[in-house]
Amino acid sequence: MRQRVFCLTILAVLMLSACARASTNSPTPTLAPTVASTIAPAESLGDDVLAIYHKSGGIAGIVETLVVHQGGQLELTQRGGATKTLQVDHAMLQPLRRMLEQKDFGALDARYQAMGADLFTYTITAREINGAVKTVTTMDSAKTPAYLGQLIAMLEQLRGSVAKNGQ
């Protein structure tokens, strides 16, 4: 019996010291590692793609990627690989096109970070006005320009349309 209590005590001390070591050695919180692994590299943004919008995180652990094609096809991939598509007319994409054609997209920082639990991370990959591919990542509660908030709102509206009406 003493040996069992001794072993459990040693095990508890080892676990506590490992937790303490992990918390003191942890770097400053950064963006979720899934962001980089689930977004296609910027170089692979095809000519037929207007934008790629990735949303992940939250308490439910959402992982979604919306690909907005130039021709109006919206493709939403959710956790587990389930995909829904929806064809929209060009007029529905015009506000997004106009937003991306502004110099404001090119002026955005690559990252806007925040600290907290269960935050959503948003990544947008699109072309700047000069044709260069750019990726911008932000999180809930991060201090961002109003332009970025409007861009996310537009992409969220498109994402919602596919989630509700897509096949």
| Whole-number pLDDT of residue 2 | 55
On whether residue 13 sits in a domain, the answer given is: no
On whether residue 11 sits in a domain, the answer given is: no
Beta-bridged to residue 69, according to DSSP, are: 49
| Whole-number pLDDT of residue 9 | 52
CA distances from residue 165 to 56, 87, 97, 143 in whole angstroms, order as listed: 21, 10, 22, 32
User: How many folded domains does the chain comprise?
Assistant: 1
- Cα separation, 42 vs 44, whole angstroms: 5
Which residue positions in the chain have pLDDT lower than 70? 1-44
Q: Edge-to-edge strands of the sheet including 49-57?
A: 83-87, 73-78, 62-69, 49-57, 120-127, 133-139, 111-112
| Whole-number pLDDT of residue 74 | 97
| Whole-number pLDDT of residue 45 | 86
Q: What is the pLDDT of residues 36-57, one digit of tens each?
A: 334 444 446 899 999 999 999 9
For residue 151, give its domain range. 31-165
- Supply the CATH number for residue 128's domain: 3.30.1560
CA distances from residue 115 to 29, 31, 32, 37, 111 in whole angstroms, order as listed: 7, 9, 11, 21, 13
| Whole-number pLDDT of residue 151 | 97
Rounded to 5 degrees, φ, ψ at 41 are -55, 145
On whether residue 73 sits in a domain, the answer given is: yes
On whether residue 3 sits in a domain, the answer given is: no
